Amino acid sequence: MTKLVKGLGIESTAHTFGASIVNESGKILSDIRSIYVPPAGSGIHPREASRHHTDVAASVIKQALTESKISKNDLDFISFSAGPGLGPCLRVGAVIARTLCHYLDKPIVPVNHAIGHIEIAAFEAKFFDPIVLLVSGGHTLVSAFSNGRWRIFGETLDLTIGQLLDQFGRKLGLSSPSGKKIEEISLKSKKYLSLPYTVKGNNVSLSGVITAAKRLLDNKANPNDIAYSIQETGFAMLCEVTERALAFSEKKELLISGGVAANKRLIQMLTKVAERHNSKIYAISKRYSGDCGAQIAWTGLLAFKKGCKVKIEKSTIRQSWRIDTVDIPWRN
């Protein structure tokens, strides 16, 4: 019987420390995570989040191994999120991955976190050549694969869509991430308040939206109306640039990934975009939409099978790491 390749993925880019074990048949054998929750009204503090990751790492990895019923010695590789992300948080995952690889004598595979979001969604959808909209706290971009890399059609020029929602949430006294709560209160209104709509070429600018939204809140506007208007404005911008990419490329698959892909209103709007272009649409499941070890483990497995591994001493982190600088041999 042929032995299946198995690997461990470690995620630690921001508020989540996750560990997952997958095999090459496409089965996610375990996916365990622990999320740092900052105090109400505040965002993620990199130092405090990294302390959280340090505290929970051993138990999360142990639980992932136990649930998968895989011995640590039977792992074929260990992958970790090498960036982009918060430096102190990335270092926790990198140090743990290096230590395990040295101790177990296993290959180490650095993974670009954004590509992890894309590949786990493509795996779920069984899409092979999609236009991708990646929307999260760390990413807002439209991409397609060409000539060995994920190429960027458009992106945010300032805030990500996740940061927009989180910043408004903090203004309301919520802790980050607060996108789910913003979605909930937006459903209580259908009153649109005018907010800046800024699309430049195929890029979006969201900083004006949050500035205007905060001003409205200071002037005693209804928070439900503002939340509704933020979503309608920000999501409409994303739909415009995504539709432009679909029209230009004539691709017939639209893939949505990242934490904000869990927002039902965004998917409702994008579904109409896909319908106009006779394209299939798939939004990643809520289970894997946020940061998790599964996206790192699966992408690490794809990379490992194509020989993408580095020496332990070369497994450095990169707080800024664009997806269009990363070679993708498993898609050629």
Nearby residues of 168 by Cβ (< 8 Å), 6 or more positions away: 178, 182, 210, 213, 214, 226, 227, 230
The mean predicted confidence, pLDDT, of the chain is: 97
Mean pLDDT of all residues in 295-308? 98
Contact partners, residue 308, CB within 8 Å, separation at least 6: 109, 329
pLDDT at 40: 87
What domains sit in the chain, N to C, each tagged with a CATH number? Answer: 6-117+290-331 (3.30.420.40), 127-288 (3.30.420.40)
In this prediction, residue 1 has a pLDDT band, given cuts at 50, 70 and 90, of: low
The answer to whether the CB of 329 falls within 8 A of the CB of 308 is yes
Q: Are 296 and 81 in contact (CB under 8 A)?
A: yes
pLDDT in tens, 147-184: 999 999 999 999 999 999 999 999 999 988 899 999 99
- What is the average pLDDT across 237-247? 98
- Mean pLDDT on 19-45: 94
pLDDT above 70 for 326: yes
Tell me how many degrees the CA angle 83-30-135 measures, rounded to the nearest 5. 40
Question: Residue 15 pLDDT more than 90?
Answer: yes
| Rounded distance between C-alpha atoms, residue 329 and residue 332, angstroms | 5
Torsion of CA 325, 122, 90, 263, to 10 degrees: 120
| Pairing between β-strand 140-146 and β-strand 131-135 as defined by DSSP bridges | antiparallel
